[in-house]
Amino acid sequence: MSYNAINKTIRMANGRDITIETGKLAKQADGSVVVKCGNAMLLATVVSNKEAREGVDFLPLSVDYQEKFASSGKIPGGFLKREARLSDYEVLISRLVDRILRPMFPDDYHAETQVIINLISADSEILPDALAALAASAAISVSDIPFNGPISEVRVARIDGQFQINPLLSDLGRADIDLIVGGSADSVAMVEGEMSEVSEEDMLEAIRVAHEAIKGQVQAQVELAQEVGNTTKRTYSHETNDLELKERIFKAVYEKAYAVAASGNNVKAQRKDAFKAIKEEFVASLPEDHTYDSALIGKYFHDAEKEAVRDVVLKERRRLDGRALDEIRPIWSEVNYLPSAHGSAIFTRGETQSLTTVTLGTKLDEQMIDGAMFSGYNKFMLHYNFPPFSTGEAKPMRGTGRREVGHGNLAMRSLKKVLPPEDENPYTIRIVSDILESNGSSSMATVCAGTLALMDAGIQIKAPVSGIAMGLIMDEETGNFAVLSDILGDEDHLGDMDFKVTGTSKGITACQMDIKVKGLSFEILGQALAQAKNGRLHILGEMNKTIAQPNADFKPHTPRSQNIIIDKEFIGAVIGPGGKVIQQIQRDSGATIQIEEKNDKGYVNVFATSQESMQQAVSKIKAIVAVPEVGEVYTGKVKSIQPYGAFVEFMAGKDGLLHISEVKWERLESMEGVLELGEEIQVKLVDIDPKTGKFKLSRKALLPKPERKEAATGNE
């Protein structure tokens, strides 16, 4: 059997090739491709039902990215030893692809659609997250599924001052800008990444460089679809419309909705009730025997409400809650709210509130990473929780969702850039943000609360970080637009952009942007970034009123940690045979001790809940690793007594011979009765044998030398 595989090659500026192949694997899917770069290979498939489920008025799209452990020659850890639920890393890549694909389907297409992307071969230097969206889009492009693409995503990084597209993993560690940018041939629609306090101009330039690379990948997909011959898309009819009803609703409710939107009421619940009352009034005005579909009534009312809210912003330059376009909602914050936490903070902006804690742990608390691409340990975690009561709703608690994973990751990337270097921070740090109220950008509230909690905990961060969510209302026909600072939940839902930017007073540390309109210009992006900077600095100023710099010390109940660097040859002495020595120190002191060998040194981390416990453990470790010096005086313990002298332990694990001739100035015939086992005596280290390394001790050197008696004259 032969396959009519079709290939398309994209030559990258760095000299590497990306190959897209279709027609060989998974041919029963509506569309399937294999994308290859180096040894990395991704299989992407898409299947979309021919008909939509009854009553569904949205696109039921699911995107799942999963890495096969066999792709990198690994067997999964855990009891099951198989790929199970998606890891957080896989969820984040799934979200990257979903966020760029979803806006590209026609608004009236409601058939259940599933995109699956599998990493089937890994390359240790090629990151698959920058190839996943290209693979998904190519699979859709060679199918007959309606799609307003193609699209693609690339990684752009600035390494050693130069922008690179899809750089090697080994080079990425030197980058001060690391972004994933997604878009079509004519616009950018998605941005996410982290930066080392860079300027808005530098970030904008990175996006420009990325978009140029995206254009080439989009063109390759267009050519591939033409070669396959699937340029004609399937016909569908997933919506039933009633234009007469739509016009009737717009005439009846638009002006009333406009009035509510223009009222400037800053209470979310009251605005919601006001819009609801308009809808109920319209329904009540209909004849009892009307045959209008209630679902269509809800849809058209939502459309009228959306248009009214947007028109208020564009025409009157005012927002739902009465704020100016660049105005930030009132902010208040508090630290040290929870007495038993190592660090805590409340951050409230308008109707959004985060209660955040910081917990400091040992190396034993590090998170173990077991993935096809990445394995190792992580000592900084940020977890974001979004309970239903935060929006006044009662819903089942179903565990951590993709939204929580994504929001937590954005906040984590924002704050990790200002943490102290690893060699200065022995702690494993866990931040937990519990959202208690939500009406607009709880992830940015998490960043602000996380900063405050870190400073309250005494972590010496480089600089405080704040975050702000920017929105956009744009009339695509006229080009009229309004950039909104610190958006509400309604403005996110009804608007055209959600652009989150975090950073210090010096520059940006992370961002996340999603666009719902085509043709977003770099002029608008530039204005949004400039407006975001002003808002970010304002929020930092408000945070500084609560706490401007990290506390000089940890809380009294915070466990203390101390690092001791020892010579590599002493590691075994500290551990002892079978761990006997280190276990005894831990039992005696109550401290937790971890030893790691790196850079030809031993790094000993001592973690204790009290200063007394810390001092006891540190003293014993230092005694073990101390280097004996000739001429020094030590307090030793008699370990054994022999006819020719005694062996004295003068340092931990170090015994020396106290010869019978060195016990006293007087001549001793035997050791019997002179010393006792376990007796503590002071000795002086007088010599170290250069050949054997044995220690020679003296006790008499510390005793006064008796005066010499003069000989008798014989005369009295």
438 Cβ contact list (under 8 Å, min separation 6): 351, 352, 353, 386, 390, 391, 489
Q: How far is CA 683 from CA 8, 504, 659, 690, 702, in A?
A: 82, 59, 11, 20, 7
Residues 373-403 as b or e (16 or more Cβ within 10 Å = b): beeeeebbbbbbbbeeebbeeeeeeeeeeee
Tokens of 78: 């855990």
Rg (alpha carbons) of the chain, rounded to whole number: 35
Task: Sheet with 466-474: list strands edge to edge.
Answer: 162-165, 152-159, 175-183, 188-198, 508-515, 497-503, 466-474, 481-485
With 0-12 / 13-18 / 19 or more C-beta atoms within 10 angstroms meaning exposed / middle / buried, residue 54 is: exposed
Task: Report, as ranges of residue numbers, the positions in the chain whose pLDDT lies below 70.
Answer: 1-2, 519, 708-716
The answer to whether residues 338 and 357 touch, using CB atoms and an 8 Å cutoff, is yes
Report pLDDT for 611.
81
Q: Select from 485, 468, 514 the least CA-distant residue to 191.
A: 514
Between CA 6 and CA 9 the distance in angstroms is 10
Partnered with residue 640 across adjacent β-strands are: 647
* Overall size of the chain counted in residues: 716
Between CA 327 and CA 144 the distance in angstroms is 46
Between CA 98 and CA 151 the distance in angstroms is 12
pLDDT tens, residue by residue, 1-24: 457 889 999 998 888 999 999 999
Side-chain-side CA neighbours of 699 within 13 Å: the count stands at 25
Residue spans of alpha helices (H) in 263-401: 268-285, 294-316
Between CA 654 and CA 579 the distance in angstroms is 18
Token pair 């010869």 is at which residue?
659
Q: What is the pTM of this model?
A: 0.85
With 0-12 / 13-18 / 19 or more C-beta atoms within 10 angstroms meaning exposed / middle / buried, residue 601 is: middle
Cα dihedral sign, 72-76-82-86: negative
Please, what is the Cα angle at 415 between 414 and 418, to 5 degrees? 115
Report pLDDT for 714.
46
The answer to whether residues 511 and 470 touch, using CB atoms and an 8 Å cutoff, is no
The answer to whether residues 187 and 149 touch, using CB atoms and an 8 Å cutoff, is no
Report pLDDT for 713.
47
Q: Between β-strands 481-485 and 497-503, what pairing exists: parallel, antiparallel or unpaired?
A: unpaired
Between CA 210 and CA 183 the distance in angstroms is 9
684 Cβ contact list (under 8 Å, min separation 6): 631, 632, 633, 634, 697, 698, 699, 701, 702
Expressed in percent and rounded to 5, the helix, strand and coil fractions of the chain are: 35, 30, 35
pLDDT tens, residue by residue, 539-569: 999 999 999 999 999 998 898 888 888 888 8
The answer to whether residues 165 and 155 touch, using CB atoms and an 8 Å cutoff, is yes
Backbone angles phi, psi at 564, to 5 degrees: -125, 125
The secondary structure of 654-680, three-state, reads EEEEEEHHHCCCCCCCCCCCCCCCCCE
DSSP sequence for 87-133: PHHHHHHHHHHHHHHGGGS-TT--S-EEEEEEEEE-BTTB-GGGTHH
For residue 192, what is the DSSP state? E
Q: 10 Å Cβ neighbour count for 711? A: 5
Tokens of 537: 């600095």
Q: Between β-strands 31-37 and 40-48, what pairing exists: parallel, antiparallel or unpaired?
A: antiparallel
For residue 329, what is the DSSP state? P
Between CA 113 and CA 238 the distance in angstroms is 13
Q: Is 190 helix (H, G, I), strand (E, B) or coil?
A: strand
198 Cβ contact list (under 8 Å, min separation 6): 158, 176, 177, 507, 508
Q: Between β-strands 375-378 and 481-485, what pairing exists: parallel, antiparallel or unpaired?
A: unpaired
Report pLDDT for 567.
87
Token pair 């010599």 is at which residue?
687
- How remote is the C-alpha of 82 from its chain's centroid? 25
Report pLDDT for 2.
55
Q: 10 Å Cβ neighbour count for 596? A: 11
